[in-house]
Structure 1
C-alpha cells in the first residue's frame, strides 16, 4: 500500500487543518472565480437606458423656428394619441433631428436603431447572445470535491424589445432601407400591442407592449437608391407625414445656429444651396446639412472666404458624383449659381460671393 499525502506537511506545533472561517472564505472566493461574468441582463440595461444617453445620437443644437414648431406640434398630436409616426422626405431635410427632438420632448427614455440592407428581425427584438455557465465547488472537506455545472443560454433584448417592455420611445431611422420581411414583427406591435419573440418559448415568447411605448420612423423618398417599399399592411398602421426642405428663413436660422457665422453669411450660403438644389435631380439635391458643412468651413477661414467660396460648394456636392465629367458639370453649375447671385446683389452693399477670376472655358466645354 502506497501512502499518498492529503495535505502539505506543516512544521511541528502549527495547526494542520484550516479553521472553519478560513474554509468558508476560501469556498466563497473559489465560487466567485468559477462563475463566468454573464451578459448584461435586460434589468441592468433598463437602468442604464435611464442614466446613459449613448443609445441616441447627440444633437449639436436644435433650431426651433415657428415653422418647425408647428410641424412638431402636428407630429406630437399623433404620437401622444398612440400612433406610430412615419416621417418621409428627401435626404437632408431634417427628419432625423426632428424625430430625436420630439422623442426627447415626450419625457421618456429613447432607444435608437438604424435600418439598412442587412438588418434582421433579431437586430430589432434580440436573441440568445451567449452561453452562461456557472460552476459550484464544495471545499468544506479537504479531500472531498463536489461540483456541479449549470449551462443555459442568455437572452439579450434589442431596441424594439426594450422599448415595448419598458415603455420607451423607439426611433427607427432609415426604416425603408431595411428589407420588408425584417419589419414584419412590427405588425402585431402596432395593431395588437403584442411583441412576439420567435426564438423564445412559453410565457416568455410574448411581450405585452407597455402603454407608454411610442415609435417614430424616418425614411427617404422612394426616388433614392437602396429604399425598399414597406408592405401596405404595415403602412396602414402608421401615420405618414411627408416633409420637404424648410423655408429660406428657417434654413438660414439653422445654418447660423449650427455654425456661429453671421446672418449675412448664412443667407449667402443658403441662397446658393437652394439654387443648386433647384437645378439638380431628386437624389442629388443638397440638403441643409450641406449648408452647415460650408458654414463651418467658412467659420474656420476667418474672413478669407472669397478665394475658397466656390470650391467649398464643389467639395460638398462632389460626394454624390460618380465621374469626373459629372464633377465638371457640377463645378460649372456652382460657378453659374454664384455668378447669378452676384449679379442679383449688384448695386447693394452686399459683398460679392466669390473673388472674380477668369474662368477656363476650355475646361468647362469638356463637361
Structure 2
C-alpha cells in the first residue's frame, strides 16, 4: 500500500487496526524482526483505553498458563466456644484456583497482546479458536463447575508473528489465521526509518541521517538485508538521552556505535569499523 503522506503511515495503520478491534475482530501484525510490530501493537492497545495484558509466545506455554490451574488447598477452621457448655468446631478444605492470564483478560475485558504467538505449540493455540469465534473460553481440564465462561464484550486481541523461516516458529493454523485480520509489515525503507527515529527522539534530521548511514554501511559489510529499525533506534535513543554530538569525531558516540554494532558485526576489522564513519 503506497503511503499518501510522509507522516501518516503509522497513523493509518493504527487507525485501521483500531476499527477492526472495535468491531470485534482480532488483528495480526506479521513481518520480519525489527520493523515495529510489537511497538505498533502496544500503541494500538493503548488507544483502546482498556487494561493491557502482554503475553509472549514460547514452546513451554501451556493451557494452564492461559486458563489457570489449582494451586493448592485452603483450610478454614471455625472453633466456636462462645457458650461455655457448647463447643462448635467446623473445618473446611477447599482447592485454591489461580486464574490464568487469558482467563483474567476474557473475564475483565482487557486487551491482550500475544507477541510472537507462533512460537507456542499449535495445540495450545487451538484454545483461541472458541475465544475468537464463539466468544467463549472453555475450561476443560480444570475441574471447575462451569464448562466455559463468556468473553467480555470489551475483550480484544492483537497477535504478532515472525515469518515461518525464523527459528522456533510453528506454522499457524488456517482456522486461527482465518479469524484474524492480518496486517503485513515490510522491511522499512530509509524514509520510513527516518520517520520512526524522528518520532522517538528529538535528534535533528542530519543526525538521524548519519546514524542510518552508519548502520546501513555496517549491514552492507555483512551482506545483510537492511530494513530493521532496531539498531539505529538504539543508537539514536542513547545519543538523544545523553545529548551526544552525532559525529565520528565524538569518542562517546563512536563507543555507542561500537557497542551496539560490534556484537552483530563481530568479524569486522578496526579498519572496517573506521569506514562506517566516512563521508
TM-score (norm 2): 0.83
1:116 correspondence with 2:58: yes
In structure 2, the partner of 1:313 is 257
Q: Distance in 2 between matches of 1:228 and 1:253?
A: 33
CA deviations over 1:217-275 (Å, ceiling 9, x no partner)? 11122232222222222222222211024443442243244343333212211233345
1:237 correspondence with 2:159: no
Closer/same/farther in 2, CA of residues 294 and 201 from structure 1, 3 Å limit: same
8 Å Cα contact 1:172/1:217 also seen in 2: yes
8 Å Cα contact 1:124/1:161 also seen in 2: yes
Closer/same/farther in 2, CA of residues 304 and 186 from structure 1, 3 Å limit: closer
Q: Distance in 1 between matches of 2:18 and 2:271?
A: 43
Report which stretch shifted further, 69-78 or 188-197.
Answer: 69-78
In structure 2, the partner of 1:291 is 232
8 Å Cα contact 1:314/1:330 also seen in 2: no
In structure 1, the partner of 2:24 is 82
Larger radius of gyration: 1
Closer/same/farther in 2, CA of residues 196 and 79 from structure 1, 3 Å limit: same
DSSP 3-state at the match of 1:112 = strand
Structure 1 or 2: larger helix share? 1
In structure 2, the partner of 1:162 is 104
8 Å Cα contact 1:196/1:206 also seen in 2: yes
Q: Distance in 1 between matches of 2:111 and 2:196?
A: 26
Q: After superposition, where does 1:1-367 map in structure 2 within 5 Å? A: 65-142=7-84, 145-201=87-143, 203-277=145-219, 280-281=223-224, 287-299=228-240, 300=242, 302-303=244-245, 305=247, 306=249, 307=251, 309=253, 311-320=255-264, 327-329=266-268, 334-339=273-278, 342=279
8 Å Cα contact 1:277/1:286 also seen in 2: no
8 Å Cα contact 1:272/1:338 also seen in 2: yes
Structure 2, unmatched stretches of 5+, are 1-5
Closer/same/farther in 2, CA of residues 273 and 71 from structure 1, 3 Å limit: farther
Report which stretch shifted further, 287-296 or 90-99.
Answer: 287-296
When the two structures are aligned, how many residues end up with a matched partner? 270
DSSP 3-state at the match of 1:153 = strand
